Amino acid sequence: MATPRAVSPAVGDSARAAVGVSAGLAAVYLLIAAFQAALLPGHQAVWVSGIALLTVAVLLVVAVILARGIRRGHRQEVRHADLLGIAPVVNVVTLLLATQGAVQVAEFTLTIVALAAGVRSTVLATLMTGTLVACWSATLVLWPTADGTPGEQAPAVVVALVVGMIVHALRRRREALLNRVVVELDDRTRAAERTAAALAEAEADVRVLLDSSPVGITVTDAEGRFLSVNPAFCALVGRPADSVLGSTSTGFTDAADRDLVVTLDWVRGSSGGVGRMEKRYRRPDGELRWAQITATELPGSDRRVVAYVHDVTDRRAAEQALHESRADLAAIAGAMRRVRAGDDVRSTIVAATRAIAQADTVSLFEPPLDAPDPDSLVLGTSSHPHLRGTTVPLGTVSATTEVYRTGRPLFLADPAEHPLVDNALLALSGARSVMWQPITQRGVTRGVLGVSWSERVDSVTDHRAAAVAMLADEAAVALENEDLLAQLRASATTDALTGVGNRRAWDAALAGLAASAARDGRPLTVALLDLDHFKRFNDTFGHPAGDDLLRRFAGRALGLLRPGDVLARWGGEEFAVALAGTTPAEARVVLERLRGAVPDGQTCSVGMAAWHAGDRPGDVLGRADAALYRAKAGGRDRLETADPAVLPAG
């Protein structure tokens, strides 16, 4: 069943007026029925009064139908109600016929005006009014003796018709105007509803965008109090929205940045009205988060500020790591430059490691330099002076030896209870956390860097551990180069066959001893030793045997000399000896022991000379050489002196 069309406001207004008119006419006809019953004689009174009462009933039915149509919104019922206007027409026509035209002019004209006012349709109103006028005119023709003459009644009827036309026209005009107003209001209402729906949809979209945005978005008042925050901002600061709204960011900003607040004055004072800053937020668990904030005044708002808050913690950490990496590389490069410039390799490495690791103590453990098969590690260089000289046997179980054997680094945040840690050494160093870094070259560990902190360190950052490892690699190369240089320096001043000093070492040593003797006035004796018949020994036993004889003699001679004495291979089978602080008489005793140290029953000849004030090294050496010549010329296997007067007879 189709749904009836709703009654328009104009039609409904007219229908309400028709209800009022119908009810009013019913009341009037009720009074007319009473008067007619009282005034008309006999059956006319009954007939006319009955018709009047029937009209009252019809008019009341019309009023009820109109009211029902208005209440239910049935446009068709309201429209069909115009047809019920026929009832007054029928009533008047019946009266005219019943009374043979004796209807009162007032009742007739009232009906005309009522029809014009009550019937909405112009066509129906015209037909009904025309019917009344036609019937009235007919009664005047049929019953000329009726009440009044046409000349008397015509003006009243004409006035009623004119008034009815005016009333009907005004009603139609009013309905048209009201319809236009209602249509316009209806259009505006629908437009407003569409606008409201669009705004609600846009607001919902904005809310979805805010809630789903990965960037924190806030709205604050002029003083920086939060009015709105999205989930991304709440996640950044680690707090729910209800604990943030109504407050400023001071409560969860890091102490160093608490003067950085997003306010309207700050935004307006920024370049272009756009404020930018970076600040740190402190989460409830203590975690620090960096935020980049871009803020501007919200257009059309009452002194409000909108801010976009980006979490830049990872970027800041990367920048910090890059800065520290550059600083570490600069420290490593600086250390290597100092090493190349001649600074001590070990001290430079220890100092650079301490700076990079931000440690309190750094120590370098190495096997002894002269031990081809070491059984211990020696702490030779350390930033802690009391630790120098500490020896760690390789046979013991310790963190240092473990790292040395495996070549793998080790970090202990709490080393005190670890089985590999020597608590005595730990207490001596005052360390709370320790790291051991091997120094490895071509797969071979040649040392261990011990790094310690006096305060507990939870972990060593990746870049710092990598920097220490990089420095250890550079240290391995530098230490190897240092050892090679030491070997080169030693080979430049050491005789390769016997291991004692060569001619260059002798010249430097004699010059130094002569300068000391001149400065201190202490005695100095110089001697030259020559193995007798060495060429014949070589020819008899071969050159390897001769080389072995030289090596063994040099070893025995070194064992007979003091640490301050000098022994050098002068050339071939000749050796030079310098005895500092020794008089010729004392020197003769020492030189005689050296003559007896020649292996395999071989002998040697010796020439000695005492250093005199003003002598140059070549002077005293020349006198010793002359004395050696005399010893060989005198039969060999003897000692001759360049200054026989200072020696007792021997």
Burial of 362 (0-12, 13-18, 19+ CB in 10 A): buried
Catalytic residue among 77, 366, 474, 573: 573
- Which residue type occupies 454? S
- Which residue type occupies 323? H
Strand partners, 83: none
- Residue 247, token pair as written in the block: 């407050």
Residue 290 backbone phi and psi in degrees, to 5: -90, 140
- Distance CA(500)–CA(503), nearest Å, equals 10
Question: How many of the other CB atoms lie within 10 Å of CB of 440?
Answer: 19
Residue 378's closest CA among 386, 390, 396? 390
H or E element: which one contains 378?
strand 376-382
Residue 514's closest CA among 523, 527, 502? 523
H or E element: which one contains 608?
strand 604-610
Q: Is 573 a catalytic residue?
A: yes
Which contacts of 271-280 are long-range, i.e. CB under 8 A and separated by 24 or more positions? Answer: 273/297, 278/312, 279/253, 279/254, 280/253, 280/254, 280/256
Residue 278's closest CA among 245, 256, 248, 306? 256
- Residue 614, token pair as written in the block: 């003003």
Question: How many of the other CB atoms lie within 10 Å of CB of 100?
Answer: 14
Residue 232's closest CA among 311, 315, 304? 311
Known catalytic residues? 573
